[in-house]
Structure 1
Amino acid sequence: MKTASVVASLVLVGTCALASSDSELLEKVKNSGVKPIPQSQLELLKLVDDPKNPITENKVELGKKLYFEPRLSKSGLISCNTCHNLGLGGADGVAAAVGHKWTANPAHLNSPTVYNSVLNKVQFWDGRSPHLEDQAQGPIQAGPEMAAPAELVVARVTSIPAYVEEFKKAYGDDVKIDFKLIADTIAIFERTLVTPSRFDKFLHGDLDALTPAEKEGLNLFVDKGCASCHNDIGLGGTMQPFQVAKKYKFASLGGFQGDENGMVKTPTLRNIEETAPYFHNGGIWSLADAVKEMGSTQLGISISNDDSKKIVTFLKALTGEKPDVSYPILPASTINTPKPDMN
């Protein structure tokens, strides 16, 4: 009985020490500027909603159809989902985005994930768009992407009575369907693509939400300085100086140098295991290699293979729960719908 009591006491002490250690880690992470996705649906709505064009069920459903709508492209073949595939982590799984006439992005830019993009402070790798509504207008019109002039997009959508009725249902009978409203509606759908993970549960106080190995990787993530750029709710999404300590290994690939100040949008780390290849030009396919490259390029440190693997173990805990998005049935074209143009 005495031996059993001693063992029980040791187990209890060990458990208390572990809890204390976990609490200290939680406090360290919060102090590094990392924040969780809200648990409350009301608080989450406040975070992602645009008061100028509030999220409604009808707008989201219409925005989803337009997101999957290939007729918004000049060729009639490319949709938003082509490069931001919701079944592939919200990206496309290739190094450089491929668009109109099978054209690779001229700057060899990689498609960033659309999941959690609402949490970004800016959009595009050079941060030129302040929000999703503005961003949604760009790829539709860009020559190497969907290549569709604004007036063609409006003509296609308004030639389809079912779409006109859905816009009326979403915005009222007096709605004017213009290019901006079409892009805004796509953005409303994108605002709902938020993916909370076990890491968020940990940040909300569930100390058992992460495994010991994931906690070890998280501790390294903070101690190495990764959270200096990958912080806040999105774990990225702000403009940061690039190549701070050393030249990026694949800097010449595509020639992209960031904005006029050499700043580049920090990608979100949420669902990072699903969005290879990495960096703005998709130069690195291994997540462990990407961690080591960030250490040398941004932090001026050498991250060992062992530490890199531990950090990757944590990063995989950022894979979140995806919203249930069913592929929509799109309305039929009419005789007045502008035909596909491959030129």
Structure 2
Amino acid sequence: MDVLSDAVAAMRLGRPHSSIQDKYGAWGHRFGAHGGAGFHVLLRGSARLLPGGDGGAEPIALAPGDIVFLAHGCGHALAAEPGAPLEPLEPFELNPDGSWPEAPPRVPRPESGPAPSAVILCGAYQLDRARAHPLLSELPGVVHLPARVGAHRSLRTAVELLGAELEDPQPGSDTIVSALLDTMLLYLLRAWWLGERHGTEQPTGWAAALADPGVAAALRAMHADPARAWTVEELGALAGLSRAAFARRFAGSVGVPPLAYPTWWRMTVAGRALRAGDAPLRVVAHQAGYTSEFAFAKAFKREFGVAPGRYRRLGATE
């Protein structure tokens, strides 16, 4: 898998949630903070996003087709216009099995009367932030992707398909909607990291890492074979750079030395394997590149603060 797909797979939990909402008059909603991530797409009408939900930050005017992605589940508000009263909306409580509750049914539009002043497509994701990948943790609190002709065509297509399924559910819609929501998350991240974030400016951080062919090649290799005992020389050769040049370029964009990242990722993969399945410890250790369970357990405890077995048991009780 590529780095972006791996990063999302390592953090995603459960099934995503989505709904379409019609808004009338001087509407306004305040959303409480939650541990996941979410988005709003303005399909029709106009709206204002209030970061923080308290009016302290500058409102973001939304036009049809605009997308806002809230990567860290921060509290915020949506309103028809400045000064509109805000109705508090607390995050949904998850079902006992960890799934989202079903969204309330969409209220049928009256045959007569005013048309909605706004139609909004909303979605939310559950994320495990215990080992947050920088591709998500380094995102700003609010990512605004304005609608522009020719921009983010794949993302726009996913939005249209998702909206069509929610507007008129058909057999298979449940699976299709879930898959489209996961697709949207990847398109949102791609749009930010590979374009919207830096525009015409020189990319920095992970945007620079993904845009640098050499560093990106090394990252792909690490993710394709996390158990391998990589050396800086091998990674530099994949990048087409000398050992020293590669080490400087990698650390400058990724933020850690070349061998620190595969160690961190190896432990992240191992932690997810322990929480998600019941594979024996020796199997998880081998997948993480360790021939000795003892050596793996020692490295794991150094990284997570608890032994692998206890980490698995704690996950089962959460």
Give me the TM-score of the superposition, normalised by structure 1: 0.26
